[in-house]
Amino acid sequence: MNATSTPMDASRVEHFLEELRWAHGFLDVPQWPDPMGDAAFHGLAGEFVRTVEPHTEADPVALLVQFLCEYGNVIGRNCYVQVESDRHYTNLFVVLVGQTAKARKGTSERNVRTIIKAVSEDWGCRVMSGLASGEGLIWQVRDPIERTEPVKEKGRVNGYQNVIVDEGVSDKRLMIVEPELARVFRVLEREGSTLSALIREAWDSGDLRTLTKNSPARATNAHVSIIGHITREELLRVTTEVEMVNGLMNRFVWTAVRRSKLLPRGGRWDSINWAPFLRKLAVAVDFGSRPRRMDLDAEAWEYWDAVYPDLADGKPGLLGAMTARAEAQTLRLAMIYALLDLDELIRVPHLEAALAVWRYSYQTCRWLWGQRLGDPVADAIMAALKRAGDKGLTRTQIYSDVFHRHVPRERIEAALTALAGAGLARAEKRSGGGRPIEVWVCLSTDPAH
């Protein structure tokens, strides 16, 4: 396009930006997360991982987080931590991000499910997949459905009565396992879909309903947990800025996983004596199934007071949006560790274990989204500024060289303002032989910050 060309129409601009979103999605990819801290492999969860690990190619991280998630689901909506007016229960949303087939994501989940089912056979029928609509989610945990019908006597209406037309679902546990999570994210983009809002409600309160006139089903005290599997490439393609910022995505504990080893002949699962572990797990499931309010002991409260400011410190861009529920996620994880220890109080080792998981999840989010803001214009500018280094770029260079005059100047101005506000870039005045020239530079070349 020559210098006299005008910006494209709105639809072509959005297409151009979508290409940029993909093109710059893999620039300056931060490093893989550091190994998960040993503290995370505390108690019964750690014992499970150490027992299985020699006999599987699955990542120990994948085994651990899915064990925590499925244990948190099998015990139901009984134990909680109170935070002001909110109650946090043991239902977790976990996503494993790894290479298709090579990361052994499905293998790890099947290993965990086999063990959990062994101590709670009735739970097996509460494991499902195929999230397709908000109404479908409610239906799997629905309350009894009543309908008002007339009472007739001798052919005449003599009052009305409520009649149960559907008995509902008595077991409110629902363990959703989605081996193709990208498919679910595409459902969220459909016009009129209520799935995103209801998933958020499932994490928050467990009370689900829609305002759809033709859908009388509702659910109260549902105990919904989610395990999703996806590749990094799929994730960056299908997730939208809306889902990033509306709070859906930060309800998930994101974990990067990969194959831990090569076992050409497979492991020796049948050589493991599971009886001692299963006895302990059965006791832990029974303990966790008894209603109680969990609290921290005095030492744990002191520890929590010390780490809380760092957890509550908001980060800019998508990294901040994706990790905004650090405090709540940590408390849920710590509660699960305590219950596995048959402890009515959350203690320092439980917090340390939870924090080790959360730190790994934070680093996974950093690996996935780095410094991106979620705006393709801002992200493209950031990538270009990193490439330019200390030389920086003028506004004219950004408009002409980065976007080839395809993007309106006002969108570029808004993106530069967002980058400056997030502390990722700044404008500098430099002498150019005449009047000073404004040059934009990247404030950090480390995308892991």
pLDDT of 239 over the 80 cut: no
Enclosing domain of residue 42: 31-117+179-207+222-369
Q: Domain for residue 286, yes or no?
A: yes
Q: Is the pLDDT of residue 292 over 50?
A: yes
Which whole number is the average pLDDT over 135-141? 94
pLDDT of residue 4: 42
Res. 161 pLDDT band, cuts 50 70 90: confident
pLDDT at 23: 47
pLDDT of residue 111: 92
**Selected residue with higher pLDDT from 170 and 240:** 170
How does residue 377 score in pLDDT terms, banded at 50, 70 and 90?
confident
Model confidence at 3, pLDDT cuts 50, 70, 90, reads very low
Q: Considering the domain boundaries, does residue 25 fall inside one? A: no
User: What pLDDT is attached to residue 29?
Assistant: 55
Average pLDDT of the segment spanning 100-106: 71
For residue 188, give the amino acid letter: L
Among residues 318, 343, 369, which one ends one of the domains? Answer: 369
Q: How confident is the model at residue 345 (pLDDT cuts 50, 70, 90)?
A: very high
Q: Residue 74: which CATH number?
A: 3.40.50.300
Q: Return the pLDDT at 5.
A: 43
Question: SS in 3 state form for the chain?
Answer: CCCCCCCCCHHHHHHHHHHHHHHCCCCCCCCCCCCCCHHHHCHHHHHHHHHHHHHCCCCHHHHHHHHHHHHHHHCCCCEEEEECCEEECCCCEEEEECCCCCCCHHHHHHHHHHHHHHHCHHHHHHEECCCCCHHHHHHCCCCCEEEEEEEEECCEEEEEEEEEEECCCCCCEEEEEECCHHHHHHHHCCCCCCHHHHHHHHHHCCCEECCCCCCCCEECCCEEEEEEEECHHHHHHHCCHHHHHCCCHHHEEEEECCCCCCCCCCCCHHHCCCHHHHHHHHHHHHHHCCCEEEEECHHHHHHHHHHHHHHHCCCCHHHHHHCCCHHHHHHHHHHHHHHHCCCCEECHHHHHHHHHHHHHHHHHHHHHHCCCCCCHHHHHHHHHHHHHHHHCECHHHHHHHHCCCCCCHHHHHHHHHHHHHCCCEEEEEECCCCCCEEEEEECCCCCCC
**Could you read off the pLDDT of 242-270 as tens digits, one per residue?**
566 578 999 999 999 998 888 877 778 88
If asked whether residues 385 and 248 sit together in one domain, one would say no
Domain stop point among 310, 341, 369: 369
Q: Is 385 found in the same domain as 238?
A: no
pLDDT in tens, 301-332: 999 999 999 999 877 777 888 899 999 999 99
239 and 111 together in one domain = yes
Q: Which residue has the higher pLDDT, 248 or 174?
A: 174
The answer as to whether 66 is a domain residue is yes
Q: How many folded domains does the chain comprise?
A: 2
Average pLDDT over residues 172-192: 91
Residue 363, pLDDT above cutoff 60 = yes
Q: Looking at the structure, do residues 377 and 323 belong to the same domain, yes or no?
A: no
> What is this structure's pTM?
0.82
Domain boundary among 344, 369, 394: 369
What's the confidence (pLDDT) of residue 52? Answer: 94
Asked if residue 388 and residue 322 are part of one domain, the reply reads: no
Task: Give the pLDDT score at 26.
Answer: 41
